[in-house]
A and B are shown apart, each in its own frame.
Chain A
Amino acid sequence: MMLYDHISSNKRKSILLIVLFFVIIGILGYALGAYIGNVFIGLSFAIILSVIMTLVSFYSGDKMILSMSHAIIADKKKYPHLVNSVEGLAIAAGIPTPKIYVIDDSAINAFATGRDPEHAAVTVTTGAIQRLKRDELEAVIAHEMAHIRNYDIRMMMLVVVLVGVVALLSDLFLRSFIYGKRKDDIKGGTIVIVVVLIGIVLAILTPLIAQLIKLSISRKREFLADADGALLYRNPKSLANALKAIRDDKEPLVEAANKATAHLFIENPLRNFKGKVNGLFSTHPDINERIRILEKM
């Protein structure tokens, strides 16, 4: 089954990505250590920092994201169709029913988070519940369910944290270099100097590279979740129509969204109406492109 293959490829990629990030973080820590004169301290600081941050986000990242987004548990009496749709699509996806949350916001949007299908949450805005047709809402939930089943939620959470660690370390390194006193007497031979120089280059470039990696993964995941969501719901037109409604939303800004959570949503919640910043730095692929692909299915 190609779907199960896809999931294991995603798990493999997660591991590869984490290794890549740990190598970057290791080099940064080494350079920081070489600069302050003790490689061991620098390296262990970097590793401990990233391990702690990864563990914290792994086990409580979803709760932080949900509370940051002002999401509240959806009441079945109040939103019967939402709850029924999530329960139904969980059956179709073969995963346990995720927790269901609602954000009180008139913009149409939705996201999924968690560390695995057993610890996952689906969140939709009240705008989506009120303004999307029933089949469109269900298609949006199918898209989110695909994110959960494919372990995209875990992948994105880890990527975000590791991007954060890289940014933090780079910043620390550059600051201590710029404001530090020991510019002239770095102990050790040419190797240490070379490492420190590499560290400087890395410190300047890696936050940018890490960010680009994150964004490119995020965009790719959206296309995949569209396709898998369409497979689950067996009706790509409904998702295309939902995306059109989202595209034509006059007030797309989700008040409680921010830069740290924007990539989670089905479409960028921070965009301005008509304002287009697609390309290398966008969290989401061009929505018209997504609609076009869905309509061709």
Chain B
Amino acid sequence: MSYPRLLALLGALVAALFVGSLLTGVAAAGPGESLRALFLPEGPLTLVMREIRLPRAILGVLVGASLGLSGAALQGLMRNPLAEPGLIGVSGAAGLGAVLAIQTGLVAAFALALPLAALTGAALGVALMLGLAGRGGGTLGLILAGVALSALASAATALVLNLSPNPFAANEIVFWMMGSLADRSFAHVALAGPVMALGWALIARTGRGLEALTLGEDAAVSMGVDLGRLRLTVVAGVAAAVGAATAVAGTVGFVGLVVPHLLRRAVGGRPARLLPASALGGAALVLAADIAVRLVLPGRDLKLGVLLALVGAPVFLHLIWRMRGQP
């Protein structure tokens, strides 16, 4: 399949799932009525469509695109199809920020305190990691620093949960970490959107460098790639995109790992082409999962991260199983 055709197909899929997400919810209204209410003011249904379902659908696209894009970029940089956004520890750091905010009661201070705290956690975490890895650390140094940050954030989160005097807060933490888009508003979109856009802008510039890395680091450097700058750009871009996504949606795993994997053959293995394709693929996957959580258990808050893990793990195992005989 040609590349423009692939992108058009993925784009159409995302558009269809976007509409599907808009039409999924507990309100007892048919598709036509719901869509009409979206555009023409028509009582409470309009508010439901515009303030509850529309931002949720938009966030599905933004979060999915951020995770897919980041996964593709990291896999390109690390030259390893097993790399995924959690590797640089930014989702763990964002989680720790959120957890601390919940634990200290800071979340009650103002609306959006929680996502802001998560974003702060992500920023501090990445700064720490880059300080550890340094410019001269190389890709291996980067991976190790990311693993260290992840481990630190996990341990700190577990400590907070362990010593939490408040079982309700502990519960809230656990549920937040499972990942969800339920009842996210345009305030969340406004907070996370610009940060994600910054991340995408940074990652978009790395296409050429990632292509050259197909031949290994040595050859890439000789072909004019500034490896240190490339690493920094990818990490900063991933940190912004994934940090913002985690800040509003909690920990949603799997997308960054599986989507580039699924689409790699379709783009002829080319890292630069995989970037936009993975963004669209990620958006489609998260939208589909977010629709599923509302259809499988209507009205209940089945967590997005949980569903993705439940469905994603067997899919991934199947992929690996199929790859057995290949180089």
A binds B: no
